[in-house]
A and B are shown apart, each in its own frame.
Chain A
Amino acid sequence: MSGDKILSVDRLAMRFGGIVAVQDLSFAAERKKITALIGPNGAGKTTVFNCITGFYKPSGGAIRLTHDDGRTIALERLNDFRIAKQAKVARTFQNIRLFPGMTALENLMVAQHNALMRASGFTFLGLIGAPGYRDAEKRAIDLATDWLRRVNLLDRADDAAGNFAYGDQRRLEIARAMCTEPALLCLDEPAAGLNARESAALSALLLSIRDELGTSILLIEHDMSVVMEISDHIVVMDHGVKIAEGTPREVRDDPKVIAAYLGADEEEAAAVMEGGS
């Protein structure tokens, strides 16, 4: 794989006690491209995600993020909220984690917390109503409005997020992650539980994020129609190790991938892969 890498994972290992979840995993994600991480259930995909986004501390290996300005950050040394704050990596969750008792707009405002905290002079300027903060808040509302329009939820801006339909919650969570203005967007199964029409809308949304905003995307996904349609590069994992990588076409025809997905019966697996594309 050549080109401008935004994320490079080098010999990543993650062990929980005696259980090896991820072993010796190396891959890279290119800038302004969509990279997919696929594999059967229990392959260790979400563990990799949690290592990249700071929820787990890797047992070994290196994760490097290179920003547009050439700044390189060792993600395995940052932890917790700093990955999102300093390295500008945003993520969504497999089981949606919105703030259900807050409105859609409030959800997107919380995402801009760090920028607004600076603008509010760490609360002190905001408390006395300094004009600088009011402008910053207006800009934050504008950004949130823009994202609500993009995910087609503008008319529901003042409704509680917990009241949204499942597909709307998924889109709102992506909008919330994008409001942190990330360099790398990590999506954990964004198409899970969506119907065909919603999946197509999601694909269009992710492509527009890549093409219009130039944000790099890393996603885990089981819905092959989405993966094959939008991915520029696919990494396939099974049992904690990488078994294949390449373009959607290369991966689809790889016998090892087919075997991993559906046992040894290659013909059947090929049929499923074809059907999904």
Chain B
Amino acid sequence: MKAKPGIPSILKTAFINALVALVLFSLMVGIRTEAGASGQLTYWTRFGELASLVGAVFGGSIVIELLRQWIGPTGAENLVPPAVKSGMSFIGRYLAPALLIFTLLVPVIFYDQRYILDLAILVLTYVMLGWGLNVVVGLAGLLDLGYVAFYAVGAYSYALLATNFGWSFWVCLPLAGILAAFWGVLLGFPVLRLRGDYLAIVTLAFGEIIRLVIINWQDLTGGPNGVSGIPRPSFFGIPLDNSDDGLAAKLDIEYSPTHRIVFLFYLILALALLTNWATIRLRRLPIGRAWEALREDEVACRALGINTTTTKLTAFATGAMFGGFAGAFFATRQGFISPESFTFQESALVLAIVVLGGMGSQLGVALAALAMIGGFELFRGLETYRMLVFGMAMVLIMIWRPRGLIGHRAPTVYLTKAKAISSDLVKEGHG
């Protein structure tokens, strides 16, 4: 641990931060402008608020600097007593199974609370998207800012196939995955030579291109109006409605709209678990090891005879396929899709989940999705300050855990004992 900075250096940092705050807030807060009664510009000053903001930044900087000396990432090990540490590892071991059991029971516990069920479905959708993107970003180390494109391809594949040809969800689901994977390969080809920032820019553009094509190809996609009347999923052919053929009538129970929500919940849970299972399995296969090796050192991979082109393409295709599944689910759940659901913000959100969770960690991604989507809802009571609190929470997590919630890496094969690998050693990939 490096030497603790003295009081003068803390004061200096705080002073600089306060100065930056003064410059930033002097125009945003210090002067208020508005259109007057006859359209002229009127303004008045709010120096009191400005002073209190700058003062808060000054004080806050001192507090944060002091906190960082105590619980900074480098010093964290020394301060945590062994008892707490063993407790943490105990929690760590049983966290995943406990979460899974709780998730399975959510529809039972919250059967009457439609809001919580809807939120749980949303969280699970993002868990699945996070797990899908984790293959590309976390394992293969390819920074993909256009992941939403595959989500859109999956959603529109199902929507168009179902509305035009009347195909069932269960036929369209694999097709949506295959089509998304196909687009993943198509995107992969031109960007294979690019690395790092350049790859990020091209994938970002690809995400936008798909959205713009959807908006402008009105004959096929309905343009900005979207596709409506997308069929709801059936329970293997039995519709979940209150008709005579419906599941409720067949089982001779009273119909309730919650049945469909519960069904959707278990559907997305099954899809997410499929993604998780496949990813865990793939990691232990040669292809998964090659993805991680690619993230660690691409040149060494080539020297070992690994075809980096196909390895990258399979990573793109696998990630895209899971995105496509999630998209098909999204379409059937909403019953209506439009290009507005597939903006860059979605890509950024999913990427934030992967980064926050700890790149490559399945449990970390699930926790991050819960925190990002569920936590965001938790702050709803704060109204206007919601974004502020949310942003602050993310900054704090990144100071405390710069490599994500679960940063260490578990080996895929071992001789005697699997030891977790510290996040300091694991590379983030170069694109």
Contact = CB atoms under 8 A, between A and B. Distances in A.
A7 interface: no
A86 B303 CA distance: 12
Contact of B413 (A93, A99, A106, A176): A106
Contacts of A62: none
Given A123-B287, A160-B421, A141 B304 contact: no
B303 A93 contact: yes
A100 B412 contact: no
B426 A101 contact: yes
Interface string A111-129: 1111011001001001100
B262 interface: no
Nearest to B424: A162
Interface in B404-428: 409, 411-419, 421-422, 425-427
Nearest to A83: B305
B304 A113 contact: yes
- Residue of B297, B302, B303, B425 ringed by the most chain A CB atoms within 10 A: B303
Interface stretch (B28-36, B44-52, B194-202, B288-296): B288-296
A177 B305 CA distance: 10
A27 B281 CA distance: 47
A77 interface: no
Contacts of A82: 305
Nearest to B318: A123
B285 A123 contact: yes
A90 B293 contact: no
A219 interface: no
Nearest to A137: B413
B271 interface: no
Contacts of B412: 106, 109
B304 A90 contact: yes
A145 interface: yes
Interface string B294-313: 00110111111111100000
A20 B305 CA distance: 29
Contacts of B287: 117, 120, 123
B429 to A, nearest CB: 10
Contact of B307 (A85, A111, A180): A85
B303 A84 contact: yes
Nearest to A82: B305
A80 B415 CA distance: 32
A103 interface: yes
A160 B418 CA distance: 11
B302 A105 contact: no
A137 B288 CA distance: 14
A83 B307 CA distance: 11
B286 interface: yes
B293 A110 contact: yes
A91 interface: yes
Interface in A164-210: 176-177, 180
A103 B285 CA distance: 15
A103 B302 contact: no
Contact of B286 (A84, A93, A120, A158): A120
A85 B301 CA distance: 11
B303 A126 contact: no
A121 to B, nearest CB: 10
Interface in B250-301: 278, 281-282, 285-287, 289-290, 292-293, 296-297, 299-301
A105 B412 CA distance: 10
A219 B282 CA distance: 37
Nearest to A85: B305
A102 interface: yes
A110 B409 contact: no
B417 A158 contact: yes
Nearest to A161: B425
A53 interface: yes
Contact of A110 (B306, B411, B416): B306
Given A93-B303, A127-B278, A127-B285, A158 B293 contact: no
B289 A126 contact: no
Contacts of A84: 302-305
Nearest to B289: A110
Contacts of A103: 411, 413-414, 419, 421
Given A100-B425, A110-B290, A141 B415 contact: yes
A93 B302 CA distance: 12
A44 to B, nearest CB: 20
B427 A100 contact: yes
B145 to A, nearest CB: 23
Given A116-B286, A123-B287, A145-B415, A101 B409 contact: yes
A81 B285 contact: no
A115 B239 CA distance: 48
What are the 7 tightest A-B residue pairs by CB atom distance, in nearest-first order? A84-B305, A101-B426, A85-B305, A99-B296, A162-B425, A116-B286, A97-B300
20 contacts: A54-B302, A84-B303, A99-B293, A99-B297, A100-B297, A100-B425, A101-B425, A102-B292, A102-B421, A103-B411, A105-B413, A105-B414, A105-B415, A112-B286, A113-B293, A120-B287, A123-B286, A157-B415, A158-B416, A163-B425
Interface of A: 53-55, 80-85, 90-91, 93, 97-103, 105-106, 109-114, 116-117, 120, 123, 126-127, 137, 141, 145, 154, 157-160, 162-163, 176-177, 180
Given A81-B306, A98-B297, A158-B416, 16 more contacts: A81-B302, A81-B307, A82-B305, A84-B302, A84-B305, A91-B303, A101-B421, A103-B411, A105-B411, A105-B413, A106-B413, A120-B286, A126-B286, A158-B415, A158-B417, A163-B425
